[in-house]
Structure 1
Amino acid sequence: MISWRRVTEDDFPLLARWLAEPHVARWWNHETTAEAVARDFGPSARGAEPSQDWLASVDGVPCALVQRSFFADYPEYLDELGAFLDVPDGTLSLDYLIGERDLVGQGLGPRIIASAVAKAWADEPSATGIMIPVSTANQRSWRALEKAGLARIAEVELTPDNPVDDRAHVVYYLARPAGA
């Protein structure tokens, strides 16, 4: 069973450890010092910014992080993506990672994403859809999105999270289902 709770400052050492894992660092390209983690995750943990960071646990054991935000809350990101395709009002974005290396490749990614989507529909009644750009090179991520029910809608050129990657991204989308 997957359960969710908001990330707190007490989770920062766990996040730093996960961000340092090679399978995470490859795609997140994030500083892992205590100061960097506090700088980048602290505002969300304190409710001082619109992005929400969620810790996913399976059977009570933390294993993944999901960040959720409305594109409208981050105009620069919206403008970059909006140059290529329509981003409907009320569209959410999710970013995610499985922190525990031994859980990668076990089918957990699609389960986490599907659960995060269901949680987003429940928590955000104004959300009209979920759109997720992913580096074309990150096949594991976009396959998890497909298994979770999102559809590929575009191929675009965006600034990569990791400078070693080129600008090629695929974009996945799921409209809010009726009654959700």
Structure 2
Amino acid sequence: MDTLVDGELALRPMRADDFATMARWLSDPRVLTWFGGRDRPMSLLDVTAKYQPRLAADSATTCLIAELDGVPVGYVQFYRWRDHATDASVLGLSTLDNPYGLDVFVGRPELWGTGLGSRMVRLLLGHLFGTVGARRVALAAMAHNYRAQRAYAKVGFRRVRLVPGAEVHEGVARDEWLMVADRGSYSRAEVGTA
């Protein structure tokens, strides 16, 4: 996959030399509050074991690093839900129309609340709806993560179903909102931001 660019923001394929940055982000309690859990910090060894297989050409998950002016600031991954059947069944997501899924986080807390997360998702949606030809993209947001839900809504996601106890996060079964964007809602969100 080529690098996706929007001004000073770029989403580029993850490389092995990004693992140290990922380990720094995924051991930061502020980031782990929302992604992974503070009870599961990841070392460089953990990150390498988890993400190295995802760099293979035949991986079902595409991993990208977000850069702002060439400096890594976040992570985003995408995949077809049918390749993650367990997740799809937990969320009650039909795989009949073959939706894509995505996960995202801004790894630098000082950039939270700046609109960066929305920009990252918008840039990826442009690729998925435009280049890949996806019709629908779905994600799950913890019910109490209002900032993430607002960021996703800005780019056309809508909450479609509250799924009780969908994810165990920090030892607690957390409710999640299944949120979905389709080509039409993405296009309207794009028009609304111009």
TM-score range, shorter chain: 0.7 to 0.9
Q: 1:63 corresponds to which residue?
A: 73
State the Cα deviation string for residues 43-92 of structure 1 (Å, max 9, x = none): 1112342011111112222211001011001111122122xx53442201
Q: In the comparison of the two structures, how many residue pairs are matched?
A: 176
Which has the bigger relative contact order, CA under 8 A and spacing at least 6? Answer: 1
Q: Which runs of 5+ in 1 are unaligned?
A: none
Q: 1:163 corresponds to which residue?
A: 170
Q: How does 1:141-160 map to 2 (within 5 A)?
A: 141-160=148-167
- RMSD after superposition: 2.0
Query: Residue 137 of structure 2: which of 120, 130, 136 is its match?
Result: 130
Amino acid at match of 1:70: R
Aligned counterparts of 1:45 and 1:165: Cα–Cα separation in 2: 31
Q: Which runs of 5+ in 2 are unaligned?
A: 1-6, 188-194
Amino acid at match of 1:15: M
Q: Check the 8 A contact 1:92/1:131 in 2, yes or no.
A: yes
Aligned counterparts of 2:47 and 2:131: Cα–Cα separation in 1: 25
Could you tell me how far 1:161 is from its partner in structure 2?
A: 4.9
Q: Provide the secondary structure at the position in 2 that maps to 1:73.
A: helix
Tell me which moved more, 157-166 or 17-26.
Answer: 157-166
State the Cα deviation string for residues 14-49 of structure 1 (Å, max 9, x = none): 001111222211122244212210111111112342
Aligned counterparts of 1:132 and 1:153: Cα–Cα separation in 2: 11
Q: 2:43 corresponds to which residue?
A: 33
Could you tell me how far 1:143 is from its partner in structure 2?
A: 1.1
Q: Check the 8 A contact 2:88/2:94 in 1, yes or no.
A: no
Aligned counterparts of 2:130 and 2:95: Cα–Cα separation in 1: 21
Q: Percent same amino acid among aligned pairs?
A: 26
Aligned counterparts of 1:166 and 1:158: Cα–Cα separation in 2: 4
Q: Provide the secondary structure at the position in 1 that maps to 2:166.
A: coil
Q: 1:131 to 1:62 in 2, by over 3 A?
A: same
TM-score where L is the length of structure 1: 0.88
Q: Check the 8 A contact 1:113/1:148 in 2, yes or no.
A: yes
Q: 1:53 to 1:102 in 2, by over 3 A?
A: same
Tell me which moved more, 113-122 or 66-75.
Answer: 113-122
Q: Check the 8 A contact 1:130/1:173 in 2, yes or no.
A: yes
TM-score where L is the length of structure 2: 0.82
